[in-house]
Chain A
């Protein structure tokens, strides 16, 4: 199974700033995803990170707020832009190889003051 590394593991940011989260997989994967988990809630898919093309966003999430890059088959970034306290969440990256289950990174715990 794929090993997924995320960084930073946690951060405290000022409102109005932006933070970029990195996700590195130890093998080439077909698909990468970004999820958000608000405090006390379940996981919600933000977008599918497509290699070599624009990410596919879910309803309620827009590229201007959550720009995503995926320059190759092992790496992706998620930027949380112009942050407000409502963006305080855990952000998780996941990866999937063909018919194997999805695996998740340890997440980035983000607090906005």
Chain B
């Protein structure tokens, strides 16, 4: 099946710093989503982005489907950005999401 790899696995930032999280996938995808899991375990939809670029406030995402990767940009990070960021993809004729291992982000004041 399709493999989803995220990097880096862990990231520590000072408040105000920028960061880029990467998601590589091993096959073509029909759907790609980025999620933020906050410290309380809630999984928040960030982007639905099978291709192209989208922006939402301080966050933006770019998926280059032909090269099988997606990037999540966080600018001017805040302590509330802490948590785990997951990339998940749908491949083939199914609708099930396959998750990467996640990037654990800690933003310190």
Which chain B residues lie closer than 8 Å to A106 at the CB level? Answer: 41-42
Q: Are A43 and B86 in contact (CB under 8 A)?
A: yes
Interface string of B87-109 (1 = CB under 8 A from A): 01000000111111110000000
Which chain B residues lie closer than 8 Å to A92 at the CB level? Answer: 43
Label chain B's interface by main secondary structure.
strand
In the complex, B24 has a CB within 8 A of chain A: no
- How many chain A residues sit at the interface, stated as a range, is 20 to 34
Of all chain B residues, which has the CB nearest A103?
B45
In the complex, A27 has a CB within 8 A of chain B: no
Which chain B residues lie closer than 8 Å to A101 at the CB level? Answer: 31, 33, 45, 48
Additional 17 contacts, C-beta under 8 A, given A102-B95, A107-B42: A1-B45, A30-B95, A33-B97, A41-B101, A42-B86, A42-B99, A42-B100, A42-B101, A43-B99, A45-B96, A45-B97, A45-B98, A96-B95, A101-B33, A101-B48, A104-B45, A106-B41
